[in-house]
């Protein structure tokens, strides 16, 4: 007899086959309303006073650099605001209202904000799901973000996998991504390269550079579940799938699956909340070159502990 409490075996098989899984209606209508209201409150609370005007850039070309200033590097245990590139004019000032200028808020909402703590650490349904999935023996939660994809400027997130950014040995990152609004082809819905977690080795990792800032360091050994026979042809855009993703959907994202989202060209926002889990020691080692580091005051919280 099955001991599953939340997922079906079909869902678990689908996750392992494709490297992602959508769970529609994971959030209730009231849950979505609460998270949307809190997101808007956080944007209203944002003040530019003392803000270094840090923009969120993903650096997917050689000219563009990934964000890596101190405001970003020290945000792992704080609630900080990162701006859209196109929201800052040549004069260095915002060219639109602040609530329409923030790309994301991160990276300790799951620890510090009561609404997002409830969804992330105090969520019995989520714990049941994680137990069913058995992706980790002792999952730890880190790196929460509200991603807004602002109307007409919400920047694209280029093809990547999450274990590049939250590197453990062996790779164990797992993303939990919650749609707070309907995602559409024009407002920047997520798309995935199904099965790429098995065929595409992690090629590099995102590190704090010794001289300051961040960069990508090549990985000597490619870690995959299967032999990478088709990785190059897999990268063709036409093999990407953009699954329908209405508000309330939870998307599970394997740390090695390639995924991306396009620029928001619509007049509507696309709010999403996301956080990640990794395996804890001794089952995996979290790397001290990673951009996000636990602190003495805020170590990574274990999902299965009791959280007040």
C-alpha distances in Å from residue 169, one per residue of 39, 199, 203: 34, 18, 14
Binding of ligand AKG by 177 (CB under 6 A): yes
Question: Considering only residues 175, 194, 248, 255, which one is a binding residue for ligand AKG as defined by CB under 6 A?
Answer: 175
What is the DSSP track for 283-307? TSEEPTTBS----SSSPPEETTS--
Question: Of 194, 185, 206, 193, which is closest to residue 263 (Cα–Cα)?
Answer: 185
Least distance from C-beta 260 to ligand AKG, angstroms? 7
**Of 85 and 281, which has the nearer Cβ to ligand AKG?**
85
First CA to last CA across the chain, in angstroms? Answer: 34
Is 174 near ligand AKG (CB under 6 A)? no
Neighbour-count burial of 49, counting CB atoms closer than 10 A to its CB (0-12 exposed, 13-18 middle, 19+ buried)? exposed
Report the C-alpha gap between 62 and 307 in whole angstroms: 42
Q: Should residue 188 be labelled a site residue for ligand AKG when binding is judged by CB under 6 A? A: yes
Question: CA–CA separation, 111 vs 269, rounded Å?
Answer: 25
Closest distance to ligand AKG from the beta carbon of 174 (Å): 11
Q: Please, which residue, 175 or 194, has the CB nearer to ligand AKG?
A: 175
CB 245 to ligand AKG: min, Å: 10
Query: H or E stretch including 179?
Result: strand 174-179
Considering the complex, what minimum distance in angstroms separates the CB of residue 155 from ligand AKG?
9
Torsion angles phi and psi, residue 214, rounded to 5: -130, 160
Q: Which is nearer to ligand AKG, 164 or 280 (CB)?
A: 164
Tokens at 150, concatenated: 């602002």
Q: Output the smallest distance, CB 1 to ligand AKG, in A.
A: 36
Which of 120, 274, 280, 301: binder of ligand AKG (CB under 6 A)? 274
**Between 110 and 259, whose beta carbon lies closer to ligand AKG?**
259
Helices and strands (DSSP H and E) totals, the chain: 8, 15
* Residues in 141-170 that interact with ligand AKG by CB under 6 A: 147, 157, 162
Question: Which CB atom, from 4 or from 242, has the smaller least distance to ligand AKG?
Answer: 242
CB of 188 to ligand AKG, least distance (A): 6
Q: Is 154 left (phi over 0), alpha (psi -120 to 50) or beta?
A: beta
Residues contacting ligand AKG: total by CB under 6 A: 11
Q: Which of residues 107-146 bind ligand AKG (CB under 6 A)?
A: none
Of 55, 117, 136, 259, the one binding ligand AKG (CB under 6 A) is 259
Residue showing the smallest CB distance to ligand AKG in the complex: 261
Q: Is 38 helix (H, G, I), strand (E, B) or coil?
A: helix
Distance CA 127, CA 35 (A): 19
Q: Which residues bind ligand AKG (CB under 6 A)?
A: 147, 157, 162, 175, 177, 188, 190, 259, 261, 272, 274
């Amino acid at each position: 007899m099955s001991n599953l409490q939340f997922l079906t075996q079909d869902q678990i098989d689908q996750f392992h086959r494709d490297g992602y899984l959508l769970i529609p209606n994971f959030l209730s209508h009231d849950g979505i309303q609460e998270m949307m209201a809190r997101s808007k409150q956080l944007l209203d609370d944002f003040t530019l006073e003392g803000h270094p005007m840090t923009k969120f850039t993903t650096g997917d070309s050689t000219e563009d650099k990934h964000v890596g200033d101190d405001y970003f590097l020290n945000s792992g245990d704080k609630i900080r605001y990162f701006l859209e590139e196109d929201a800052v004019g040549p004069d260095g000032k915002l060219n639109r209202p602040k609530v329409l200028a923030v790309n994301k808020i991160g990276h300790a909402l799951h620890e510090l904000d009561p609404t997002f703590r409830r969804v992330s650490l105090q969520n019995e349904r989520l714990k049941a799901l994680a137990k069913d999935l058995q992706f980790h023996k002792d999952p730890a939660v880190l790196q929460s973000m509200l991603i807004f994809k602002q109307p007409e400027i919400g920047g694209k997130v280029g093809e990547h996998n999450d274990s590049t950014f939250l590197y453990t040995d062996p790779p164990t990152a797992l993303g939990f991504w919650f749609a707070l609004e309907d995602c559409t082809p024009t407002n920047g819905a997520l798309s995935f390269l199904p099965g790429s977690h098995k065929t595409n080795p992690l090629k590099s990792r995102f590190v704090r550079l010794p001289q300051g800032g961040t960069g990508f360091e090549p990985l000597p050994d490619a870690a995959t579940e299967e032999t990478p026979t088709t990785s190059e042809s897999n990268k063709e855009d036409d093999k990407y799938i953009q699954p329908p993703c209405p508000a309330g959907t939870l998307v599970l994202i394997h740390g090695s699956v390639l995924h991306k989202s396009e620029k928001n060209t619509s007049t509507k926002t696309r709010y999403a909340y996301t956080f990640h889990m990794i395996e804890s020691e001794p089952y995996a080692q979290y790397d001290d070159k990673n951009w996000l580091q636990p602190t003495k005051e805020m170590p990574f919280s274990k999902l299965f502990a009791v959280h007040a």
